[in-house]
Structure 1
Amino acid sequence: MTTNTQVFLNDLIAKNIIKETDGTRKLTIQGVTKNYKVYRIPPEYLHYNIKNGRIISSINRYEAEGNVLNLTDKVAYNNILQQYIVESNSVALQSTKANIKLFGQRLPGVVLNDGRVIDGNRRFTCIRLINAEDGANLYFEAVILDQAEGLTDKDIKRLELNLQHAEERPVDYDPIDNLVEVYTVIVKDKLFTVEDYARNTNKRKSEVEKMVKKAILMAEFLEFINAKDKYYVARDLNLDGPLQEVMGILNKEDSSDEVEFLRVKNALFTALAIPYRGDTTRYIRDIGKDILSADNREEFLEEYEDIVEDVYETFQEEENVTKEVIRKVNADLESKKKSESIIEDKITTTRITNIQGKPVDSLKRSITTLESIDTDQISRLDATSKQEFKSLMDNINATMKLFGEKLGI
């Protein structure tokens, strides 16, 4: 049987191919909350939502590679997106699959009359996998919504956000995919305001504002490395933590001074593009704390300007920037070693200066610690503990003697 031609689910209800169950699911649509009937739907009449927030960066990668997702071949279309659903959180999917095998599908999904799955992609995937692997004949149970009854794209996206974020708490959402969704619906497509998004995802407005700011930084960084709109690159590079640090640093900058603000942002983007420490998040944090907030900030920015320009121009010359290309650029770029040297030198200088300037504070803390010792307990120590205590006292006395020599007393 071919399922490539457009089939509307309501027509299949009339033909008794899709059957009503005795279940319902409560949904809020266009501000009205009510119970909707649940139907048993053969999976072959359904297809994944290409705008599913959990796999948005995977779809972005697929299309960036020159591929086209086309519903004219529904089987191929579903198989491609199914693999992305599996990869997005294979552990959670296996758990859901095992649960469905034991107890059946407990929570109904939500689909449109054209067969698009709006809610329940993981459950839909599990049912498809069980049918394929075990030769079963499970149906997907879901509410059917008809767009012809006045549902707009915004109504559908609002419902999707509400179900995925507010009800199910999407702990399995990749943070970059979440940023991409925020960037798409709020910044790029302007489908929702910050207030709308916060209300429909059960988040605070301030939390969404931070997400928008970080999402914009993500888009700007991708443009800086000539990977505009290639959101999967941000996911490949695990940029959520580093971008959080970049945002924190820039929040302390005076954005009204556009030239200085851009200098700092481009320096951070450059360090992000050619990092050399294992933990990029900590690396960016150290640059903010020990360079950009220190006395050698201006010296660093001046020395780093040539590196920023070189890195930017190098990436702009690349035709197809991917994670692999970034690694190659990092391996070949002469400016990388110079960048490492400048950053390491400035961080080390700041830390040495900080240590040198705090001997009095350190000694005060040590005295406070010594004074907290209960002297009555010293006499009750056993022989071994007394010997260890005496050895520590000898070390303290030797250290104090050294301090005295440094002071000339």
Structure 2
Amino acid sequence: MQFVCRLGTADGRIVTELQQGSDVGAVRRELERKGFHVFEVKPRGFGLLRQLRWPGRRRRRLPAREFLAFNQELAALLRAGLPLLQSLDLMLERMEDENFREILSEVRDQVKSGAELSEAFASFGDLFPPLYPSTLKAGERSGELEQVLRRFIRYLRLVLGARKKVFSALIYPTVLISLSVVMMLVMAVVVVPRFSRFYDDLDAELPALTQTTLSISFFLRDHFLWIVAGAVAGIWALRRWAGTEGGRVVVDRWRLEVPLVGDIFRYFSLSEFCRSLSTLLAGGIPLLQALDTAVSAVSNAFVRRRLEPAIAAVREGQAFHRAVEDSGIFPPLGIDMIKVGEATGALDDMLASISDHFDEAVETRTERLLALFEPIMLVVMGVIVAALLVSIYLPMVSILGQVGS
């Protein structure tokens, strides 16, 4: 039987290889004997079976709220004393989402065939958070799957709460900017050209500001479809490029460098990392394996790339706080708190406190940004509208002055 193995090499690289073996344990022992650090071993057959059963069909990720509800129900059933397989059967009977029902059916089949729950979920790749299979594995090793699920549920609630605050804060600026752009386009494309016909009838010499405004207005009106098509094509190309590994790193780096907004993105990503690592360490996962999983759970590709060398540094014996400091992405306060956590043996609790601190920083900076955004937008809109009105009415004032004289 073939297994997909995610390994750490002696020189610090992380590689994925196919290995033959009778079971997961035998493959893991053989790889460890060869000097590899084994992060994950999962049967390849399940992935092939899934591709044969649903050829050409692409699975969508489960919404976070539904995934949270699933884990809450599973934890409740396990706490009530039901065996894992029976719990999965009961949940399948009540599952309404067709996509997740198919996934859960495969998970149940794998568990029934002898696979662990963590291996079953890991076989679906990026459909589930990388933190999830590692968390389940910690519960399976300790025999406390229900308690570990409760800990993951708390983590998921905190992450969802932080994301909700950020997205809710961005709704108002987005709506305001969109309405402002629409209003200015209507004035430039509809209102200004009507005044042009009036000025043509008067045969008057127009000021430079008015001529510039009319030229821009006519250009937008005459090439509107081409401008829209070009904008759509540009956005599509940018999204395709940003979807590549290199493009994603560049875009995420730009986000961190935007004035006022960059720190919000940075603290949010560091909160993700600290919260994930704290959850894994509290579940009994060794630091090196937990670090690899926590880094892969960071949504910002640039932050993730800056943190990846810390995995190799810790593997070579460097202190964790020193490896994080070398990444250049953590603030000094976070590094000091990690150092204290290492010294006191309470690294998981300290990382949770750091994550709370970063969440508060995100919330505080977002509120400050919104407080600045509204007056700045009003001033910018006022200047643009005033410039349009002045350019429209300036010739009329000039003509009336000539008539009066």
Q: Does TM, normalized by the shorter one, top 0.5?
A: no
Q: Which has the higher contact order (CA 8 A, sep 6+)?
A: 2
TM-score by length of 1: 0.25
